[in-house]
Chain A
Amino acid sequence: MAIVDVKTEITGNVWKIVVGVGDSIEEDGAILILESMKMEIPVAAPEDGRLVEILVAEGDTVTEGTVVARIEA
């Protein structure tokens, strides 16, 4: 079991967090949805795993490369 960082590739505001800590998640499944320049863009799990930590809250602004969550893969 390895802990994997989930990073955002774009700058935006956290609109909605769609999974909770402890939930299992599949590769490419959305963890949260960012809102940026009138678009809704999901931040997805890079591989199958279980969500162990969410590092942002709804309404936060995140910049490109920010670690927003960690999963146990």
Chain B
Amino acid sequence: MPEISKVLVANRGEIALRVMRSCERLGIASVGIYSEADRDAAHVKAAGEAVLVGPAPARESYLKVDAVLAAARDSGADAIHPGYGFLSENAAFAQAVIDAGLAWIGPAPETIRAMGDKQQARMLAQAAGVPVVPGSRRFETGDTDGLLEAAETVGYPLLVKAAGGGGGIGMRRVDTAEKLVETVAATQSMAEKSFNNGAVFLERFVPKARHIEIQVFGFGNGKAVHLFERDCSLQRRFQKVIEESPAPGLPQDVRQAMAKAAVDLCRATRYSGAGTVEFIVDAESFEFFFLEMNTRIQVEHPVTEMVTSVDLVAWQIDLARGQLAPVDQDAIRTKGHAIECRLYAENPAKMFMPSPGPLTRFALPAAAADLRIDSGYREGDTVTPFYDPMIAKIIVWGESRDAARQRAIAAMRAVEVEGIRTNRDFLLACLADPDFAAGDVHTGFIEAEKARLLAA
């Protein structure tokens, strides 16, 4: 196993700072990288040393494999931590890091590649016995052979989807068997005209869905543990807004079944490092289906760290250098409730459009045992249009969900931002909303309650 004495953190903002904090705790030096737009950024100041990798656009700097590898070589780093986003799930980059003789702090390149391919990931999940969204074979135009039986197997309500479609185009919902044959015929005919391909297939539709994911950690030898779940149902435009653990109202047997499925997938793939297995969960029946696996540390990992007291990044580094003591599943306990709020530079009233600009005022509450602040910005910094709109994560802990919710409200009230627009008030409205307070969360919540939340 490689000796790790200096880690190049191939990222920016809060996650770069986060990784550097664990390096420091482990007595390992860290090197930052930055683009021309980030010369004075907090993560550059915090790094022992930092290397310029290119101009402001990410594809010319943070995503530039050669420049990042050169920075590692020139600074004498012996390992690379990719954070999330950017190059973190780029299998070719992971391989290039290994080929350069450096330690890659992440899963094996083959695993990253396999999980990055939706079809392959679904097959791996099925092979490991993990439930996937039920689907049928393809039905070409005029073919209705065994259609009703296929629909029974998939289950209602279902979607008739054009094989050549995508992004919601060429999709029709069917609630009962009576409407099936005519809807399939209509979709085939429409698909023939729109995509020049009449083939359709059936897929189960979950009308009220929750997004619940399991944090896992694999040791690369077929052993793996889970660190319980995170509920990330509150989303806008497929971006998570509030995450929490435990998932409110999730029956204990479902929680255990989901955790087992996630661990089974890790064991079957000999997964190495931190990962997240995402599930779509029917909010009424609690049936759950595999969505995808993220082969990186995730934005919302602090939620898990708050309830388990595990330093996931330290585990990643220790695994990469062969110094992670065996972890027993029974030793991982969850205590209380954690909630994370993502503060975005955006304008909720204008369809959550980005709002970059100068942070003329940027005051965040002081961290405490029950309050963690992960941010890559300081007052006086400018939020540029080049990168992600997230400017801070406010993570709280409480004995109960309601205590955590109240703590989150107090913490968010103490957030003061001037110079740009943010979703601060929108987050407060979500936290105070009676449905959210009752734990009635689902992925359509923000879209359905937008008017009410914006008016609050």
Contacts and interface: CB of A to CB of B under 8 A. Distances in A.
A35 interface: yes
Nearest to B345: A37
Contact of A11 (B354, B387, B388): B354
Contacts of B353: 9-10, 36, 39, 41
Contacts of B387: 37-38
Contacts of A41: 353-354
Among B354, B385, B387, B389, the one with the most A-chain Cβ atoms within 10 Å of its Cβ is B385
B179 interface: no
A13 B350 contact: no
Contacts of A13: 57, 385-386
A37 B356 contact: yes
B355 interface: yes
Interface string B335-353: 0000000000110001001
B388 A36 contact: no
A63 B386 CA distance: 13
Contacts of A10: 350, 353-355
Given A37-B345, A37-B385, A37-B387, A12 B356 contact: yes
B131 interface: no
A10 B57 CA distance: 18
B365 interface: no
A12 B350 contact: no
Nearest to A13: B385
B350 A35 contact: no
A9 B354 CA distance: 10
A63 B57 CA distance: 17
B155 interface: no
Contacts of A37: 345-346, 354, 356, 385-389
Contacts of A11: 354-357, 385
B356 A36 contact: yes
Interface in A1-15: 9-13
Nearest to B357: A11
A14 to B, nearest CB: 11
Interface string A21-52: 00000000000000111110100000000000
Interface in B296-353: 345-346, 350, 353
Contacts of A61: 385
Contacts of B385: 11-13, 35-37, 61
Contacts of A9: 350, 353
Among A11, A37, A38, the one with the most B-chain Cβ atoms within 10 Å of its Cβ is A37
Interface of A: 9-13, 35-39, 41, 61, 63-64
The 8 closest A-B pairs by CB, nearest first: A37-B354, A37-B389, A36-B385, A36-B354, A12-B385, A11-B356, A10-B353, A11-B385
